[in-house]
Amino acid sequence: MSDAAELVRRTQEFLAAHPPASTAAEAFLEARFDAGLAWVHYPEGLGGLGAPRALQAVVDAELEAAGAPPAVGPSLNGIGLGMAAPTILAFGTEEQKRRFLRPLWLGQEIWCQLFSEPGAGSDLAALGTRAVRDGEDWIVTGQKVWTSGAHNARFAILIARTDPDLPKHRGITYFVCDMTDPGVEVRPLRQITGEAEFNEVFLTEVRIPDAHRLGEVGEGWKVAQTTLMNERVAIGGARLPREGGMIGPIAATWRERPELRTRDLHQRLVELWVEAEVARLTGERLRQQLVAGHPGPEGSGMKLTFARLAQQISGLEVELQGEEGLLYDDWTMRRPETVDFLGREAGYRYLRAKGNSIEGGTSEVLLNIVAERVLGLPSEPRTDKDIAWKDLSR
């Protein structure tokens, strides 16, 4: 389906059969998925209609105008929606797609990402978590770190080393891990904000069925690239209105508090406002590219820009507010379900933004990706590229 008018007609027919005012929210969303109006670019039977991605906005506008209940958003299941779902769609079996995608979109099952390790963050391919075949299962042992939302998650996307005799980018396999299985232990990591949205996860002889493997054995790095590219788009390329995101609160403060204004701060704010608007419009172009296929390395550039602007804007906001900008009313240890940048104080935004240049790929690694894959510059020497993982110094 590629016709917007036909999609509007189908949405209106759906609304007539499921009036939002008299249909329970959960039942409405379940019916929406089954009608193919969840993510229209997905195949029929998997929440979509095989339509262009751009037409999702047409459906969303019709549903919003009718007062339909909102779908579970990225703030609650960002890893599931932005990373796990497109990877399952690209590499999962039909059985896996039908098992995981519906409850994922409905928010009935929350997902997390078991990629980074204490010794394999920026150099993710050096990971050491082992998966050993045992009949129809894999026995997984290792440690993962910086796992957002693991304390709320039912499932995780996991990469583990299945053949240590191969070079580090090979011999990795991609799995779906049930976070409720025996041997999975989640521990909180307290952050500079006082919260613990991140975790470290210990895997001790966790038994994962081979039916929960995504892609071929030993091709986990290839599968993981789909996840990572989608992750950077999800973090840095969210759809925003003008003055959406971090620039919104400081622009509002500037208008409402004229006593805080200075000529120097005005010039810096205008420059950041322009950069934020350029980034927003660039994100729109990037999403248009996604209509034609999978995300590419351009998403790394968007994520780089997002991290830099978030840190610069939040720093300027604290400076603008002076002593008030240092106030932060809740340092208690909390386990939040979401990261609430805009509903908190300037001090919180300033502290939390420090993580933006680390999570989802460090800025240093993303600079290399942009240099090599976008600008076509020569690659950095990689002396360990063809050495077996077991022979690498660690």
Query: What whole-number distance in Å separates Cα of residue 322 and Cα of residue 74?
Result: 33
Which tens digits make up the pLDDT trace of 305-335? Answer: 999 999 999 999 999 999 888 887 776 777 8
At 257, list the tokens: 């508090």
* Domains by residue range for the chain, with CATH: 4-71 (no CATH), 81-95+108-218 (2.40.110.10), 237-374 (1.20.140.10)
**Percentage with pLDDT > 70 across the chain:** 94
pLDDT digits over 18-49, tens only?
999 999 999 999 999 999 999 999 999 999 99
The residues annotated as belonging to the active site are 231
CA distances from 78 to 20, 149, 280, 319 (A): 25, 10, 19, 31
The Cα 24–Cα 21 span in angstroms is: 8
**CA torsion sign, 142 to 147 to 150 to 156?**
negative
Return the pLDDT at 212: 98
Task: Tally Cβ neighbours within 10 Å of residue 72.
Answer: 17
Q: What is the pTM of this model?
A: 0.88
Mean pLDDT of the region 191-216: 95
As to burial, measured by CB atoms within 10 angstroms (0-12 exposed, 13-18 middle, 19+ buried), residue 302 is buried
Above 70 in pLDDT, residue 288?
no
- Evaluate whether 33 touches 106 at the Cβ level (below 8 Å): yes
Mark out the alpha helices in the chain (DSSP H runs).
4-17, 25-34, 56-65, 74-79, 85-91, 94-106, 220-236, 247-256, 263-291, 298-321, 346-352, 363-369
